[in-house]
Amino acid sequence: MTDLLPRPSSSLGPAPAERGAVLRRHGGWGGDRGELAPLARFAGLTSLVLFMATAWGGAPFLPFRARWLVLLGAFGVVILSPQQRVRRLPISMGLLLLVPFLIVSLTWSYQPDITAYRIEQYVPLMVGLILLTGVMALRDVIDGMILGGRLVLVASLLATAVSPSTRTHEAVNGGLPIDGWHGLFFHKNEMAPFLVFLLITLLVFDRPGWSKTLSIAGIGVMLIGSQSATGLTAAMLSFGLYWWLTTYLRQEGRWSTGYVVTSLALGLCGLFATLASLATLLSAAGKDLTFTGRTEIWTAALEFISAEPLLGYGLGGVFWGGGGIAPSPTTAALWRAIGFNVPHAHSGTLDLMLQLGIVGMVLFSVVFLSNFASGARLLRSAPPLGIWILMVVIAQIWMSLSEPVFLGPWLGVLAIMRTLSLRREARTSGDELAPWIRR
How far is 410 from 360, CA to CA, in rounded Å?
15
Q: Do residues 92 and 422 touch, judged by C-beta distance below 8 A?
A: yes
Q: What does the pLDDT read at residue 426?
A: 79
- The DSSP bridge partners found for residue 124 are none
Query: In the structure, what pLDDT confidence band is assigned to residue 1 with cuts at 50, 70 and 90?
Result: very low
Amino acid at site 407? L
Residue of 52, 204, 192 lying closest to 128 (CA atoms): 52
Residues 213-260: tens digit of each pLDDT: 999 999 999 999 999 989 999 999 999 999 999 988 887 655 566 666
pLDDT tens, position by position, 253-276: 555 666 666 666 766 676 556 555
Indicate the SS3 state at residue 32: coil
- For 301, other C-beta atoms within 10 Å of its C-beta total 26
- 0.75 surpassed by pTM: yes
Least confident of 15-24, 109-118, 124-133, 301-310: 15-24
Which residues have C-beta within 8 Å of that of residue 423, sequence separation ≥ 6?
Answer: 31, 90, 133, 134, 138, 432
190 pLDDT band (50/70/90 cuts)? very high
Give the model confidence (pLDDT) of 128-148 as tens digits: 999 999 999 889 999 999 999
The stretch 95-107 carries a mean pLDDT of 96
For 207, 242, 350, 379, the CA distances from 389, given in Å and listed in that order, are 18, 11, 23, 10
pLDDT band for position 394 (50/70/90)? very high
CA distances from 135 to 35, 54, 287 (A): 10, 22, 46
Q: What is the mean pLDDT of residues 41-61?
A: 93
Within 13 Å, how many C-alpha atoms sit on residue 437's CB side?
Answer: 5
pLDDT of amino acid 319: 83
Domain residue spans of the chain:
16-438
- State the Cα–Cα distance between residues 307 and 302, nearest whole angstrom: 9
Residue 366 scores a pLDDT above 90: yes
Answer yes or no: is pLDDT of 412 > 60: yes
pLDDT at 268: 66
Residue 65 CA, chain-centre distance (Å), reads 21
More confident of the two residues 21 and 60? 60
Whole-number Å distance between alpha carbons of 364 and 415: 11
Confidence of residue 155 (pLDDT cuts 50, 70, 90): very high
